[in-house]
Chains A and B, each alone.
Chain A
Amino acid sequence: DAGITQSPRHKVTETGTPVTLRCHQTENHRYMYWYRQDPGHGLRLIHYSYGVKDTDKGEVSDGYSVSRSKTEDFLLTLESATSSQTSVYFCAISAEDRDTYTGELFFGEGSRLTVL
């Protein structure tokens, strides 16, 4: 199994509070991704990173920010959580150059966030 750890695995918070989810990898892969999973929508990309301090938006980035200060860590922050951000969040990593070759995504086990 790819070495990907997400924390926390479960969190309940209240509307308006900040939340940070952490993804840690031990594979030294270049690309890291944050997805959210909601019933009927599959997985939707929030943000991704293609290197330290290099990040870009995905299709559902509003209300989220990310940071990557080290190769192994990719943080997802909800500055002010809303009930619509209740979801399961998955971190994924990929070794390949995304523009010229594709391989597989390796996924963490997910972080279940409930915003009351």
Chain B
Amino acid sequence: AQSVTQLDSHVSVSEGTPVLLRCNYSSSYSPSLFWYVQHPNKGLQLLLKYTSAATLVKGINGFEAEFKKSETSFHLTKPSAHMSDAAEYFCVVWLWGKFQFGAGTQVVVTP
């Protein structure tokens, strides 16, 4: 069985400071991993995905994530938060045709 854990339900950052959203997964195999973002009253939008190529993945809007197999982690980072980054973020694992969603991390950005 596979599962995905987002370690923080809420993260608050100041505009211009780094953002770190943590995601750990459990799987007996090497899954594909995604980060999605959801702005209020909107559907989810893909930020980036890892599918067994480079372990450092760059996504849209300056986000990137690093796949660390030894730590079973796929943490999302951004060097400098913008007010428009305020949203909910979901880590998603795909394996054998099944998508498993984390519970989400709500990001608040303060001026």
Residues of A within 8 A of B (CB): 4, 33, 35, 40-45, 90, 92, 98-99, 102-105, 107-110
Does B90 lie within 8 Å of A42, measured CB to CB? yes
Interface of B is mostly: strand
Interface size on B, as a range, is 20 to 34
Listed residue (B36, B46, B49, B94) with the most chain A CB atoms within 10 angstroms of its CB:
B94
Does A109 lie within 8 Å of B43, measured CB to CB? yes
Chain B positions within 8 Å of A90 at CB level: 43-44
Does A107 lie within 8 Å of B45, measured CB to CB? yes
Chain B min CB distance to A44 (Å): 7
Known: A90-B43, A107-B44, A109-B43. A98 touches B97 (CB 8 A): yes
Residues of B within 8 A of A (CB): 9, 32, 34, 36, 41-46, 49, 51, 90, 94, 96-99, 101-104
Q: Which residue of B lies closest to A101 (CB)?
A: B51
Q: Top 7 closest A-B pairs, CB basis?
A: A107-B43, A42-B101, A98-B97, A43-B101, A102-B94, A104-B46, A107-B44
